Amino acid sequence: MPNGSLKKWLHSSSETDNREGKQQRLNLLQRINIAIDLACALDFLHHHCQTLIIHCDLKPRNVLLDHDLAAHFGDFGLARFHTKLSNPNHSSSIGIRGTVGYAAPDDDSKGTTDDMFVGDLNLHNFARMALPEHVIEIVDPILLSNDKEEE
């Protein structure tokens, strides 16, 4: 895919800057559109395929962005397939399973998981608890920057 993985865009560094030397950043609208693309893809895989497909390895590295920054899932190596008539306790998978350096879905992509995400606290509940008074404390600071080059 021409724009690489979502990880590259979310965790930009000098190694992932574009050819002009500018950092690649996603604005709020682009992030929302990527979330919508992924939600639609998950809905399709889970509800509209003849064989239910569960990806099992969703993370920014496995989200690929095309020329228009439309999001697509990649790396179905851990995927599980269920037929609608099959026993819900049975699934099948084919081939080698896993990703080299597999990280749990709640991994922050830096190799650690925050101790606060134990028990019933997950990312969804964490964000919901911040609404509406504390959103500014959890939002990505890049979204708050007022760079003239993005305007």
DSSP bridge partners of 80? 54
- Which residues contact residue 136 at a Cβ distance below 8 angstroms, ignoring those fewer than 6 apart? 144
pLDDT at 27 > cutoff 50: yes
Q: Evaluate whether residue 32 is within a structural domain.
A: yes
pLDDT for 52: 84
Q: Is 37 a catalytic residue?
A: no
Is the Cα dihedral 133, 137, 139, 143 positive or negative? positive
> What does pTM read for this prediction?
0.64
For residue 130, the enclosing domain spans: 6-150
Choose, from 17, 43, 57, 120, the residue flagged as catalytic.
Answer: 57
Mean pLDDT, residues 120-143: 86
Sign of the CA dihedral 127, 130, 135, 141?
negative
pLDDT at 31: 93
Q: Are 34 and 65 in contact (CB under 8 A)?
A: yes
DSSP H helical ranges for the chain: 6-10, 28-43, 123-130, 135-138, 141-144
| pLDDT bucket at 103, cuts 50 / 70 / 90 | very low
Query: 106 to each of 76, 80, 112, 128, 147, how far by Cα in Å?
Result: 18, 20, 9, 16, 30
Residue 99 lies in a domain: yes
pLDDT at 67 over 60: yes
Query: Considering the domain boundaries, does residue 95 fall inside one?
Result: yes
Residue type, 80: R
Higher pLDDT, 64 or 102: 64
Domains contained in the chain, number: 1
- Specify if 106 maps to a domain: yes
Q: Is 82 contained in some domain?
A: yes
Residue 1 within any structural domain of the chain:
no
10 falls within a domain:
yes
